[in-house]
Structure formats: structure tokens, C-alpha cells
Chains A and B, each alone.
Chain A
């Protein structure tokens, strides 16, 4: 692919000095750290997501192993926990950026943001408990 006019060395992904420009011109709140979190989780979710899909395909077609036995293995438990947590963190940033674009009332924005955070924390806690139960109960 052809390189664009923007040099790859000046993107915020690589250049720490971009932070300075963003603070001057941007929202001056949590924009850049959220942007970074979204990209970092995106990179992590490529191998974790492929591992999850491959595992589910394998589970769906196998009569010999149950989902409970599969999740009690330490490597599986760790990778699935990371997949769920990275996915939820990625979803949180993504959903918040959708809200920022379409919810134009400050109070509604705060309320919907709190709702999404609460839902994500609840889902993250529940999945960690479920995985730990299977892992420790083995």
C-alpha cells in the first residue's frame, strides 16, 4: 500500500509529542488515553478473538470435550478471561464514542455513559467469577 502524505512517524500511536498538540486543540479530557486503549485492545483482540472463534468452532463440533472441561484448563481460562475483558474495554470506548457523536444533551450523555460503564463492570465481574469458578473448581 502507498504511504500517505502524513508521515507514519507523526501519528499519536508512535509519537508521544502528539499529546501536546491534542491537549492544546482537543477536548482536553480523556480523549487520547481512550484512543490508545481502543487501539491497544484492538491489537490484543486480533489473536484473542481468533483463538476464541477457533475454540468455539472446535467445541461445537467435538463430542468428547465439554465447555466446562475446556474452561477449567489454566491456559484457556486465562485467554478467555483476557478476551472478554479486552473485548468489554474495547466496547466501552467504542460505545462511548458513539454516544459522544449522537447524544447532544449533557445530562443524557452523562447518564448513558454511566449506564454503559455499569453494564460493562457487571458483565466483566460476572465473566471473571464464572471462569474462576470453573478453573478453581476443577
Chain B
């Protein structure tokens, strides 16, 4: 049976809205985290293997490129976590009003920034 598929509406057919922007960002960070899980599994393998393999991976992660990757991963992780909690609230039937959805959207941005900054302050100054 032929069923309609969801088209890509943003930002061609709709003006910018925080809710739709955060929605597509949830998918993008989800895809980024899925790709990042390859690095996570690789890291686990090198920890188990030890020796030169682990040393090389550790050196890569501590290099400027590695730090940038880890920083982007942390932003994606905290964003997907915060916005995921927002999605779970919707799944349970709460927060559907436009004003509430906009406010919770801004709360997600603030929480993401806060958690990311706190985590990296801890890394560099603890």
C-alpha cells in the first residue's frame, strides 16, 4: 500500500521557529552520536588491547583535533539528552502548548550550554 512519506519542510516551506529548528537538531545530533559510537567502541577495544594501540588512540584524543571532536560530541550528547527528556515529556502527554514548547526549547539550549561549559571547565581546571 502506498502511504504518504514525510517531506522535508524546514526551512523551505516554513519560516524559522525554535521548535522546528530544535527538532531537526535532535535528529542531526542523534546521527552524530551514532557515528560517534564507532569511536566509543574503538576506544573500548583499544583499552582492552592496551599497548601501542591504546597509546596511539589516547594521543589522538588528546590532540587538538581529538579535543575538538570530543567537544562536539559533548555538545551533541548534552543537547540530545536535554531535548530527549523534553520529547519524553511530550510522549507522556505534557508540554504541547505552543508557549510551553517554546519555553522548554529555550530551556534545552540553556541547559546544553551550561552542562557543556561545566564539563569542560572540570576537564581543564579540576
A94 to B27, CA, bound (A): 8
Number of interface residues of A (CB under 8 A): 48
Main secondary structure of the interface of A (DSSP, over half): helix
Given the complex of chains A and B, what is the CA–CA distance between A50 and B81 in angstroms? Answer: 9
Offer 26 A-B interface pairs, CB within 8 angstroms, sorted by A.
A1-B100, A2-B100, A4-B93, A5-B96, A8-B92, A8-B93, A9-B93, A39-B91, A42-B84, A43-B88, A45-B84, A46-B85, A50-B81, A53-B74, A53-B119, A57-B123, A61-B122, A84-B41, A87-B40, A94-B27, A98-B30, A102-B8, A126-B45, A127-B40, A130-B45, A134-B48
Residues of A within 8 A of B (CB): 1-11, 13-14, 27, 39, 42-43, 45-46, 49-50, 53, 57, 60-61, 67-68, 71, 80, 84, 87-88, 91, 94-95, 98, 100-102, 104, 123, 126-127, 129-131, 133-134
Looking at chain B's contact residues, the main secondary structure is helix
- In the bound complex, residues from chain A placing their C-beta under 8 Å from that of B84 are 42, 45-46
